[in-house]
Chains A and B, each alone.
Chain A
């Protein structure tokens, strides 16, 4: 009979589902199947078992071939690179645990690096807006039990957070929401008729990039003041109808995603979304929450914030922490050609940065720490595969509502492989020696 492990935490998205069941082989060494997870989460667990997995660090040669080296040699290479650089970037951190992030920050402090996480291309602008005007938020449990008005603005959880709606925001029957989705009104704002929009009571098919205007128009409608005939492609009657729906709830929640953070108005969109939330609180109770992508991008922001005071784009090159997105942010450092080494961990800028920035990474001394073969690994000089966090090692991660959850180790990593934390500790100890601190 196969063994089964319950209450496993899924290390994919910010929903951080904690109810997975995994069936294991008799000796407990192999994952056979994954239950309760979404398609993406299940694939993450199953892919860790791939036969063609890379298990040793490798240096990329001039002709594009790879030369296998040991973890010690890899740590030496990374330590030398970081110690020699004047302005290294240490980017990523979102798909690893808080323990590893903390060790990484020690290295960053010693070498004077610019530390940034994937919020840079995700919810970075949200963090700017939160610093502007605050964030009235709550936990996902409160939403499950109380929310009767749910707004998804510029996000598509049916694809990006597949179990979010069924676990917390739309389907579940909570204490005050006994009829599940029948006790909720779902409003979706998206320029496409997304699979989330297809479930909505009201879908506002907004003109792309006009979020600020529509958010503002909803506030005007709340005040029952004059509106033009259409705003962002939505007729004023519809806007007034939605304002009434929002007002009439007992507890509402606005979830927002990349549709507002990545369009031209960026942080101003979110300023306005938070202002709308504040405005709605004059009529009833409302909260707002960013739909965080990576399972521990929230944790990276938390750890950076308690260690250095800022949640992302932290520049330690002067020996103290500076924060100025647009100046100290990774995309801008790369675009201006200011960085002289790139250290990537637990993320894939090669696939998810604009190509001009990736080109810049490929010209610099670079290290990529990632269990997978990725486009980043393809352009970096050194690729260090590590154990999968949440599958082959535990550790702490923060859910999108800032609730910390301890992940569980399910199986052992392949023989001889290190975890992020172990490999970073090796680099840290070596950097200490190089910098004469030990």
Chain B
């Protein structure tokens, strides 16, 4: 087990949409968005089972999410976290004078974090804002 580097993108998934409308404080939203979709070859490189927790770190922050095998692949080298506070904990906020953060194409490191918790959306944002995590 070690670390691998991925190119992170984020975006809508239908599960994210349904869970969002069902309530962002509910467990279903965490299940839909507190994940990183990884190619099976990348899971192998990282040396972890699918559905285990990982820490995703970029120059802008880090977050613990569940690594799942991609549903819309193959896309080796690319990681996908559905849009939401988990993705936004690590994306590049620079707008380069366009007003738009660079949500897609953030280089991230992924490492196993088996025993670390995945927080729900409200808790995650509150803890991040208070500087607790």
Residues of A whose CB lies within 8 Å of any CB of B are: 12, 38-40, 43-44, 47, 50, 64, 120-121, 124-125, 128, 156, 158-160, 162, 191-195, 197, 205, 208-209, 258-259, 261-264, 266-267, 293, 312-313, 325-327, 329-332, 335, 348, 350-359, 362, 372-375, 377-379
In the assembled complex, which residues on chain B have CB atoms less than 8 Å from the CB atom of A353?
88, 101
The answer to whether B98 and A160 touch across the interface, beta carbons within 8 angstroms, is no
In the assembled complex, which residues on chain A have CB atoms less than 8 Å from the CB atom of B24?
348, 351, 372-375
**Docked complex Cα distance between A374 and B29 (Å):** 11
Once A12-B21, A332-B95 are accepted as A-B contacts, the answer to whether A160 and B100 lie under 8 Å apart by CB is no
The answer to whether B105 and A264 touch across the interface, beta carbons within 8 angstroms, is yes
The answer to whether A124 and B100 touch across the interface, beta carbons within 8 angstroms, is yes
Q: Which of B41-49, B78-86, B108-116 contacts A (4 or more CB under 8 A)?
A: B78-86
The smallest C-beta distance from B56 to any residue of chain A, in angstroms, reads 13
**Docked complex Cα distance between A162 and B17 (Å):** 10
Contact of A351 among B72, B88, B129 (CB under 8 A): B88
A-B pairs with the 4 shortest C-beta distances?
A329-B99, A326-B97, A354-B93, A325-B99
**Docked complex Cα distance between A326 and B70 (Å):** 35
The answer to whether A40 and B99 touch across the interface, beta carbons within 8 angstroms, is no
The answer to whether A350 and B125 touch across the interface, beta carbons within 8 angstroms, is yes
Q: Which residue of B lies closest to A39 (CB)?
A: B18
The answer to whether B125 and A378 touch across the interface, beta carbons within 8 angstroms, is yes
In the assembled complex, which residues on chain B have CB atoms less than 8 Å from the CB atom of A266?
96, 98, 100, 102
The answer to whether B21 and A121 touch across the interface, beta carbons within 8 angstroms, is no
Once A162-B14, A375-B24 are accepted as A-B contacts, the answer to whether A331 and B78 lie under 8 Å apart by CB is no
- In the complex, whether B126 has a CB less than 8 A from a CB of chain A is yes
The answer to whether B125 and A125 touch across the interface, beta carbons within 8 angstroms, is no
In the assembled complex, which residues on chain B have CB atoms less than 8 Å from the CB atom of A261?
100
**Docked complex Cα distance between A375 and B12 (Å):** 17
**Docked complex Cα distance between A325 and B61 (Å):** 25
- In the complex, whether B73 has a CB less than 8 A from a CB of chain A is yes
The answer to whether A192 and B60 touch across the interface, beta carbons within 8 angstroms, is no
Interface string of B105-133 (1 = CB under 8 A from A): 10000000000000001101110111000
In the assembled complex, which residues on chain B have CB atoms less than 8 Å from the CB atom of A372?
23-24
The answer to whether A208 and B88 touch across the interface, beta carbons within 8 angstroms, is no
Residues of B whose CB lies within 8 Å of any CB of A are: 7, 9, 11-14, 17-18, 20-25, 60-61, 70, 72-75, 78, 80, 83-85, 88-89, 91-93, 95-105, 121-122, 124-126, 128-130
Once A162-B14, A326-B95 are accepted as A-B contacts, the answer to whether A209 and B21 lie under 8 Å apart by CB is no
In the assembled complex, which residues on chain A have CB atoms less than 8 Å from the CB atom of B96?
264, 266, 326
**Docked complex Cα distance between A359 and B85 (Å):** 12
The smallest C-beta distance from B77 to any residue of chain A, in angstroms, reads 9
The answer to whether B97 and A193 touch across the interface, beta carbons within 8 angstroms, is no
The answer to whether A375 and B100 touch across the interface, beta carbons within 8 angstroms, is no
The smallest C-beta distance from A274 to any residue of chain B, in angstroms, reads 16
Once A128-B98, A378-B125 are accepted as A-B contacts, the answer to whether A351 and B12 lie under 8 Å apart by CB is no
**Docked complex Cα distance between A353 and B60 (Å):** 13
Instruction: Name 25 interchain pairs, CB-CB below 8 A, sorted by A.
Output: A38-B14, A40-B21, A50-B23, A121-B103, A156-B72, A191-B78, A192-B9, A192-B73, A194-B72, A208-B104, A258-B11, A258-B12, A262-B102, A264-B96, A264-B102, A266-B100, A331-B95, A351-B24, A353-B88, A354-B92, A372-B24, A373-B122, A374-B122, A378-B122, A378-B126
The answer to whether A262 and B129 touch across the interface, beta carbons within 8 angstroms, is no
The answer to whether B88 and A355 touch across the interface, beta carbons within 8 angstroms, is yes
**Docked complex Cα distance between A373 and B121 (Å):** 11
Q: What would 6 more interface pairs be, CB under 8 Å, given A351-B125, A355-B89, A356-B93?
A: A195-B72, A326-B98, A355-B60, A355-B85, A358-B128, A373-B23
